[in-house]
Structure 1
Amino acid sequence: MNAFVLNRHGRMVFPSNVMPELDFSTMETLEQLDSVIRRDFETKAPSGTDILERVRAGSYGTRYDLMRDVALNLFWANRFSITMYDKRPTRWADVPRHRSDVFLPVLQPWENGEEKISGVQQAYPQLPARWDQDCEDRIFAILFDVFGNRRHHASTLPAVKPTVAEFLEQPGNLTFRLRNYDPDFPVYDYTDILDVSEDVPELEALHRWAMVLHNQYPWDRSQMELAEASQLSDDDYVVAFHPRDKEVRAFLRRLGEGAPRRATGSAREPRPPVRPFPAIDVRARFSVLPRLESLAAVHGDQVCSNDDLIRNTAYNWSPMSADEISSKTGIEQRRYSSLSVEELALQAAEAALAKAGREPEEIGAVLVCTCTTSRLIPSLATYLCGQLGMQQVYVAYDLIAACAGMPYGVADATRLLQEVERPVLVVCVEKFSDKIGNVRTSRMIFGDGASAMVVGPAPEGGAADIDYLKTYASGPASEVNSILWPNPEFDNNITVFGPQVKALAGRYLSQMIEEISALPHPDGKDGSLLDSIDLIVPHQANKTMVIQLAERAGLSADQLYFNIEQVGNTSSASIPLAIHDAVRDGVISEPVRIFAPGFGAGAVAGYAVMRIDPAVVAVQGPTAPHETATEAPMPAPGEQASASEEMREAFG
């Protein structure tokens, strides 16, 4: 499934946020599946009893609030069928009786179902509209046509359905029966769902939910009932369940074979090093001094605003407004790229070489700092060497230090200068947009982008552009694992555990400030290294969090530069992208000394104290949308349906 597409209205849509897809290749046991299902579908979903109690208590303030709960309940009721099976209405006479891959759901009547349905039906018109009554009525009609014709209890549905033979072993088992079935019953096309456009972002998301739920019951719902096998005639239709794909088939096969549990080790209590690691005084430690010859940036070409996130609210997200996202993270928008991570890296590298006036054959080493590479063999660094026409370099390798990638990369480049005595190309690149799925915290924060720097040897007698370097790693296991990818428990998407991330960031930032406050002024003046800093350009993790941590460490917000409001968190690329934007926006208009701290996944951290001359920055203008961003033209959707008996007319 595409990470994002642009619909015919030019709006960004995340298909995975409304069309659930689980990666069953990562699952071995029902317990693992249950954990994912419980988190994605059950935690936020009220039961029918909950909804009825809220109706009676007058807990719903608006029609939207009631509709949202109904939709969440229906996603929960379809939690296994929507993720594991295709539903195929089939004549009872034509249902295979002995195949191992054809299943019939065993259903229980919905206790007090008529009362719950009636409660919702009567409550809705008594509530005020939240934003747009006509729009809300259209959405409610789709949702209620599904909810109002439900006959089965949701809490007793198992993930693994019985085969037809197993179903028949218990004469009292109930399953779906359709007296009549029309294979041309109208459903919403994929592009119909993508092309939904409502003025209110929350209603646009809810409208898509309703359409997906409608497609889960592609028949006239008023014809649906529960029946025992003995009550079925040859011309009755039942709803046979078939595994959605080969991964679901393999998962069911593993369950049947009793896959062994994977052993997991327990982490030891962390212990501090026997003695502290000192910061590296570059001028005192190295004979070949580093000079920043160029810095170039490539931003993502597609803007994803906070409103875009709300338009794509997933069925497992808690309610949150665009303003609340801004308040929580300091982010107004993040930028995604239509390009691959390789293309982003290549564009940044070419721009940096051009700005430095360097030919590929002059480069001694290539380092790529990334935690989202799409390739292991060859490394992205060696791939770039080939694309840039470098027949041979001293070393080329990828460096995984996540949000501390830039300090790690600059530190390695400085060390390599001592050996190669020729420029080192450092590329920091990330593409998160296709690794997030429907994980809300990650979707709120991360963006795509790339930056590249040429770090060369300073001329004989010339000054270094880098004063001090320091890197760190590790901590308590909870902090080391505070940002994970791939993570099977979150369907192999990037997962952020906020409190642990805040703990490691606060720990490292305090340590950094303490250290640079104790180091001497690099120019021999009175005061400390901290006193010499003109501007702090931190890793753009979460503006609200970083400001809080910085103030706790004794800094003020006006000492820090942020561009996260416009680009999001781009991990290893965030600091050099911020430097670029500070030059572009005139914040850096003359040579300045900056303090650039990074901290993040793996409990890694690092900083560089370095001189930035705006003359070496290749300033990029506004990024135009890439021509491949829209994937494919989207046809206009048909009229939306409001109830089963109106479906044919509505779909035209």
Structure 2
Amino acid sequence: MNQFVPRITAVGSYTPERRLTNADLERMVETDDEWIVQRTGIRERRISAPEEYTSHLCIEAVKDLVNRYGAVLDDVDLLIVSTSTPDFTFPSTASLVQAHFGIPQTLAFDLSAACAGFIYSLHTARSMLASGLHRKALVIGADALSKITDYTDRTTCILFGDGAGAVLLERDAEGAEASWLASTFGSDGTGGVHLYRTGIASSLNGVPVNAGGKLVQNGREVYKFAVQTVPKGVAELLKQAGLSSGSVDWFIPHSANLRIIESVCERTGIPLEKTLHTIEHFGNTSAATIPLALHQGIKQGLLKEGDKVLMYGFGGGFVHGGLLLKWKEPLSKR
């Protein structure tokens, strides 16, 4: 089977209008701005309206992609939405996006990999395009975490916000140099009890779990997992590509917590100045953090043709995954 070379041709993003600041949280739970900033780096997060759900965030991000790049969606034949907060168990959020834009014929499904979901989805889409089975993919990372956050729990409610990011993948010109340099993925399901959203089961790995459909997190254990796992994954990506940490132009980790990002940078040797994140103004938006940061970097003119971009996601599962690519400028309006 022929191998085709996929590339990112358009990027879009969306965050809701409402801001939830640290000052707002001071009036809701026992906390204060200094405590939040010192421990997380977060100053505000965006919160979706009462009747605004993940599908709406996705749709707005795709509209932004279309408006910015003049992208055509009629021939999209693969649509993946990575989310932990689907509007419904079924129909999928991807199907709701397909219906809104009237895409006539596409494989559409949701992918659940928590905060690593966008990386999992991007890897899945580029693999399916490279195989020749599909020609054009729309990949969205989106979460409305405010819908599942317990705002009486001061340890978690300070972290999470809502948002969405979308990218379009298409086959590159024949003979084009590959954008994708390396990939690595992993999972440790024994860590699931430390970060989960309650469901229909009353226990997880034999451990009783809370009910109520809310997000539950053991922040200490998540921190340990991230700072131990991500640097090893980064080292593996660099080894595969035959590069050093100094060769990385931009590092886009999952924006979970600024202290995690700082620790990972210290352990990998990648300067914090080369890191793109959205933690200060958007908080942890789960599957949306990496595409949001990617789009911020593009809009600020930071990403340049040929830059080495390393993206790494990690989260509930525990799951993690990273991609290293040689950046190609998204296509101009056409």
1: distance between equivalents of 2:276 and 2:302?
8
2: distance between equivalents of 1:440 and 1:513?
32
Q: Aligned-pair distance for 1:579? A: 1.1
Q: Aligned-pair distance for 1:590? A: 5.3
User: 1:587 is matched with which residue?
Assistant: 302
1:105-120 matched pairs, under 5 angstroms: none
2: distance between equivalents of 1:616 and 1:486?
42
Between 1:566-575 and 1:541-550, the stretch displaced more is: 541-550
1:430-449 matched pairs, under 5 angstroms: 430-437=143-150, 438-449=152-163
Does 2:314 correspond to 1:599?
yes
Q: Residue 364 of structure 1 contacts residue 420 of structure 1 at CA under 8 Å; is this kept in 2?
A: no
Q: How many residues align?
A: 320
User: 2:25 is matched with which residue?
Assistant: 309
User: 2:133 is matched with which residue?
Assistant: 420
User: 1:279 is matched with which residue?
Assistant: none
Cα gap change, 1:360 to 1:553, in 2 (>3 Å): closer
1: distance between equivalents of 2:85 and 2:11?
21
1: distance between equivalents of 2:105 and 2:238?
42
User: 1:396 is matched with which residue?
Assistant: 108
Give the structure with the higher percent strand.
Answer: 2
Amino acid at match of 1:486: T
User: 1:340 is matched with which residue?
Assistant: 53
Q: 1:298 aligns with which of 11, 14, 19?
A: 14
* Runs of 5+ unmatched residues, structure 2: 200-208
Q: 2:197 aligns with which of 472, 485, 503?
A: 485
> Deviation string for 1:253-303 (max 9, x for gaps)?
xxxxxxxxxxxxxxxxxxxxxxxxxxxxxxxx9811111011100012111
2: distance between equivalents of 1:553 and 1:530?
7
User: 2:266 is matched with which residue?
Assistant: 551
Q: Residue 422 of structure 1 contacts residue 457 of structure 1 at CA under 8 Å; is this kept in 2?
A: yes
User: 2:188 is matched with which residue?
Assistant: 474
1:624-635 matched pairs, under 5 angstroms: none
> Deviation string for 1:326-367 (max 9, x for gaps)?
010011111112222111111212332454544332111100
Give the structure with the higher percent helix.
Answer: 1
| More contact order relative to length (CA 8 Å, sep ≥ 6) | 2
Q: Which has the larger Rg?
A: 1
Q: Residue 537 of structure 1 contacts residue 594 of structure 1 at CA under 8 Å; is this kept in 2?
A: yes
Q: Residue 237 of structure 2 contacts residue 322 of structure 2 at CA under 8 Å; is this kept in 1?
A: no
Q: Residue 596 of structure 1 contacts residue 607 of structure 1 at CA under 8 Å; is this kept in 2?
A: yes
Q: What percent identity do the matched residue pairs reach? A: 26
Q: Aligned-pair distance for 1:422? A: 1.1
RMSD: 2.3
2: distance between equivalents of 1:297 and 1:365?
19
User: 1:561 is matched with which residue?
Assistant: 276
Q: Residue 227 of structure 2 contacts residue 260 of structure 2 at CA under 8 Å; is this kept in 1?
A: no
Q: Aligned-pair distance for 1:469? A: 2.2
1:347-362 matched pairs, under 5 angstroms: 347-362=60-75
User: 1:407 is matched with which residue?
Assistant: 119
Q: SS in structure 2 opposite 1:449?
A: strand
User: 2:5 is matched with which residue?
Assistant: 289
Does 2:288 correspond to 1:577?
no
User: 1:321 is matched with which residue?
Assistant: 32
2: distance between equivalents of 1:586 and 1:352?
16
1: distance between equivalents of 2:299 and 2:137?
24
Amino acid at match of 1:605: H
User: 1:533 is matched with which residue?
Assistant: 248
Moved >6 Å (runs of 4+): none
Q: SS in structure 1 opposite 2:103?
A: coil
Q: Residue 407 of structure 1 contacts residue 471 of structure 1 at CA under 8 Å; is this kept in 2?
A: no
> Deviation string for 1:158-198 (max 9, x for gaps)?
xxxxxxxxxxxxxxxxxxxxxxxxxxxxxxxxxxxxxxxxx
Q: Aligned-pair distance for 1:498? A: 1.0
User: 1:195 is matched with which residue?
Assistant: none
Q: SS in structure 1 opposite 2:146?
A: coil
User: 1:641 is matched with which residue?
Assistant: none
User: 1:259 is matched with which residue?
Assistant: none
